[in-house]
Amino acid sequence: MRKIDFNRDWTVQKEGQERVEHVNLPHDAMLYEKRAKENKTASASAYFEGGKYIYKKIWDVDAQTAEQTNILEFEGVYQNARISLNGKQIAERPYGYTNFYVDLTDLLTVGQNEIQVIADNADVPNSRWYSGSGIYRPVSLYTAGSSYIKPEGIKVQVLDQECICLRLACVAENAQAKITILDQNVVVTDMVVEDLTHLETEGITIMIPNAKPWSAEDPHLYRVRAELVQDGSVLDCDESHFGMRTLAWGKEGFLVNGKEVLFRGACIHHDNGVLGACGFADAETRRVRILKEAGFNAIRSAHNPISKAMLDACDVMGMYVMDETFDMWLIHKNPYDYAGDKFKEWWKADTEAMISKDYNHPSVVMYSIGNEITELGMEDGQKQAKVMVDFCHEKDKTRPVTAGINLMLAMMAGGKKSIYGTDDKGQVKDSGTGGMDAMPTSDFFNLLMNKMGKLMTKAASSKKANAVAVKMREIFDIPGYNYATSRYEKDARDCPNQATTGSETLPQSLYENWQLVKKLPTMTGDFMWTGWDYLGESGIGTVRYVDKKTKENIDPGLIMTGGPGIIDICGKMRPEVGWGKIIWGLQDVPTIGVDPLTHADHFQSLSMWRTTDAVESWSWEGCEGKRTMATVYSDAPVVELLVNGQSLGKKKTKQDMAKFKKVTYQEGQIEAVAYDASGKETGRSKLVSASGKTKISLRPECQSLRANGQDLCFLNIDLVGENGITKSSVDQVLKVEVTGAGCLQGYGSARPNIADDFVSDQHKTFLGKSLAVIRAGYETGCIHVKVSGEGLEPVETDISVS
């Protein structure tokens, strides 16, 4: 079928308001709402208002098109979508994260047609994280004649290292199918299938001699082209890429192409930081690239199906994926979420949609059917899990099924009550649970939060948890454990033939977790919470500061982000990235982290997700003479720290780190040197201070875009010295002006407590950094960007659009 971009020229109107906005999709309406403490979304969705939004698009249809097959695909609408054509409702989809199709065939009229999409996110709270609102992923229109290949109609199942089974879902009479396999643009094999009767159900077997395997380390892709041919004419054509890779799991852990793989995993949410929930292909690709650069080789999509664009990027760049369906099943975690009746009616359709979307993607290696489902500790939840696992096997027998199982939460569930969002009588509370923005900041709270992780993992090995774990091993191909490191050795001993994965773990536990992953043959890997920071669950992992004298929060603004990510919402890596790469054996030089000197006089409040707020910087103008703590990450047994050539002593490392307290800041450089057991230097690294007057630095990640309304340029904006080093202590409001053949799609920083938003042209930098995202329009030309700030020389750059 011909695929047409259907994202241009929509309008959106919030119910109850007169204002009508002209937008191009994807669009996140929630990002434009007000944030307030009293909003019912509360900290879960970063204090944004909910709302009901009416999207409309009018387009002309000629007589020939009206007689053709026309199918719309929505890749994601949050939530409770209702689709109407010319005033008549023709489809609905309550779940906000599934792609779905709407058949317009025989419903279009010649002339103008109007499609209306209602995205109803008015009833809140309904999410434990920032959900966004509206049509936040792309929309496509597929058109064809009476004979056509259905969208996602090509299905490739890899049978072995040189053989695939190809299925083709099509509508055709008296037609043949020509199948061509290509490696790049070289034809590997082609054939003609005369009888299409069983092509969709049984498929055909195709040999690919000397096939090159796909893996995260070597992501080689093939293409399959299918053509419907009748009397020498091509009726329809479609293509899909695939990778030749086989999977196996069990006593040897997880095998890809017969070789053991250990997942260096990152849990991620679906939002794109300053872009909100908008799923632009360039944003999804950028996230995968940066995660890969940070040493990760696997992603867990927490806690909903991943976008098509991100899967494409994972296929191309090489990243394993655990794709996850739901965060709730039978029991509500929030008053208006998807659980209960909606789930019972729609879970099969939503699960099937995810599997169909994922089927040809070699990057997808596991399906997860849920996250922290408390009813897994109860009989009805266990029955539901078994039904869902069997359904996944029916739709795809090549991939294992898992879940993010929190044994402590499961064993706490009793009767029909959940520990999430219910009172003592089992009635759902109007809570919007999810964040920790209102939690106290004290020594006692620090101690409590740092012990919570250990308490959870200890509870996971209790007798009551064991009883649940036994059931989980019977139901799931690979049990996935959230915060249950204490189970790893026990399960490896008790079930030596079953693989296990750490589906969600604390970043601070990475060292000890990875030792177990390497030690135990059944362990497949570790997925930290989180690899990339996200909006909502405000403050759950944010390091906060209070005045030591007044005990008041030094930044009382509402927290926007969760805070646990070792990569922030703008894609900036924290020093823990270096620690992870050292633990995984990917880096042999030290990484230095410095606690922010701007907070040297403040009390630091931590959480179990963040035990450091260190920054990879020795550039703290105005903080001369103040003391801080520096952390050196290294796998060497001994490290030395020097400031401007003066040694601060040597320390033994523990779990690949050493902490140097009361380090006095002075402009210049800080250097870490690593030594082996014999005292021989094995590596060194340094951080240098900025010098001279403050300037604005612009670093666009690309200089040219296509005039498709979708391409993005990520523009890194830093406040730097004359030597180009970022000034981490010099923050101020900057203004971004965009003119020409594009627009400013989003602008912001990773500052946790913000008074600004991401949709205006002004924002205050954080640690000297901010990020602007420039969106191409539909016309060719030039985008001109000017960035200015009070007392600073404006800086300009151009981006071409062709």
Question: pLDDT higher for 418 or 456?
Answer: 456
User: Token pair for residue 400?
Assistant: 């294992």
- The stretch 350-359 carries a mean pLDDT of 98
Question: Residue 417: is its pLDDT beyond 90?
Answer: no
Question: pLDDT class for 80, splitting at 50, 70, 90?
Answer: very high
- Rounded to the nearest 5°, which phi and psi values hold at 648? -100, 10
**pTM for this predicted structure:** 0.96
H helices, E strands: number in the chain = 11, 48
Lowest pLDDT segment from 108-117, 403-412, 734-743: 403-412
Distances (CA, A) of 708 to 552, 638, 705: 49, 54, 8
Question: Residue 433: is its pLDDT beyond 60?
Answer: no
Question: Residue 260: is its pLDDT beyond 90?
Answer: yes
Question: pLDDT class for 458, splitting at 50, 70, 90?
Answer: confident
Question: pLDDT class for 424, splitting at 50, 70, 90?
Answer: low
Say if residues 129 and 216 touch (Cβ distance below 8 Å).
no
Question: pLDDT class for 427, splitting at 50, 70, 90?
Answer: low
pLDDT of residue 756: 80
Q: Indicate the residue type of 788.
A: S
Question: pLDDT higher for 659 or 556?
Answer: 659
Lowest pLDDT segment from 428-432, 449-453, 717-721, 729-733: 428-432
DSSP strand pairing (795-801 vs 769-776) = unpaired
Say if residues 593 and 651 touch (Cβ distance below 8 Å).
no
Q: In sequence order, what are the beta bridge partners of 592?
A: 632
Cα 99 versus chain centre, distance: 16
pLDDT of residue 487: 93
CA 41/CA 38 separation, integer angstroms: 9
- Rounded to the nearest integer, the mean pLDDT of the chain is 94
Walk me through the domains of the chain, giving residue ranges and CATH numbers: 2-144 (2.60.120.260), 162-242 (2.60.40.10), 268-435+452-532 (3.20.20.80), 576-616+622-688 (2.60.40.10), 695-801 (2.60.40.10)
CB atoms within 10 A of CB 98: 23
Q: What is the largest distance, in Å, between two alpha-carbon atoms of the chain?
A: 86
Question: Residue 430: is its pLDDT beyond 80?
Answer: no
- The stretch 425-436 carries a mean pLDDT of 56
Contacts of 669 (CB under 8 A, 6+ apart): 618, 643, 644, 686, 687, 688, 689
Question: Residue 437: is its pLDDT beyond 70?
Answer: no
pLDDT in tens, 262-291: 999 999 999 999 999 999 999 999 999 999
pLDDT of residue 455: 80
Question: pLDDT class for 575, splitting at 50, 70, 90?
Answer: very high
Question: Residue 325: is its pLDDT beyond 80?
Answer: yes
In percent, how much of the chain has pLDDT > 70? 95
Give me the DSSP letters along 575-604: THHHHHHHHTT---S-EEEE--GGGTTEEE
- The stretch 79-83 carries a mean pLDDT of 98
- The stretch 628-648 carries a mean pLDDT of 98
Token pair 């060194």 is at which residue? 684
Question: pLDDT class for 338, splitting at 50, 70, 90?
Answer: very high
Q: Indicate the residue type of 77.
A: V
Residue 26, preceding bond cis, omega within 30 degrees? yes
pLDDT in tens, 197-236: 899 999 999 999 999 999 999 999 999 999 999 999 999 9
Q: Angle at Cα 752 formed by Cα 605 and Cα 485, nearest 5°?
A: 55
- The stretch 725-749 carries a mean pLDDT of 98
In percent, how much of the chain has pLDDT > 90? 88
Helix orientation angle between 308-317 and 341-358, rounded to the nearest 10 degrees? 30
- The stretch 759-777 carries a mean pLDDT of 97
**Where do runs of H (alpha helix) occur along 724-766?**
none
Q: Indicate the residue type of 29.
A: A
Question: Residue 454: is its pLDDT beyond 80?
Answer: no
Question: Residue 519: is its pLDDT beyond 70?
Answer: yes
CA 575/CA 579 separation, integer angstroms: 7
Q: Indicate the residue type of 544.
A: R
CB atoms within 10 A of CB 578: 26
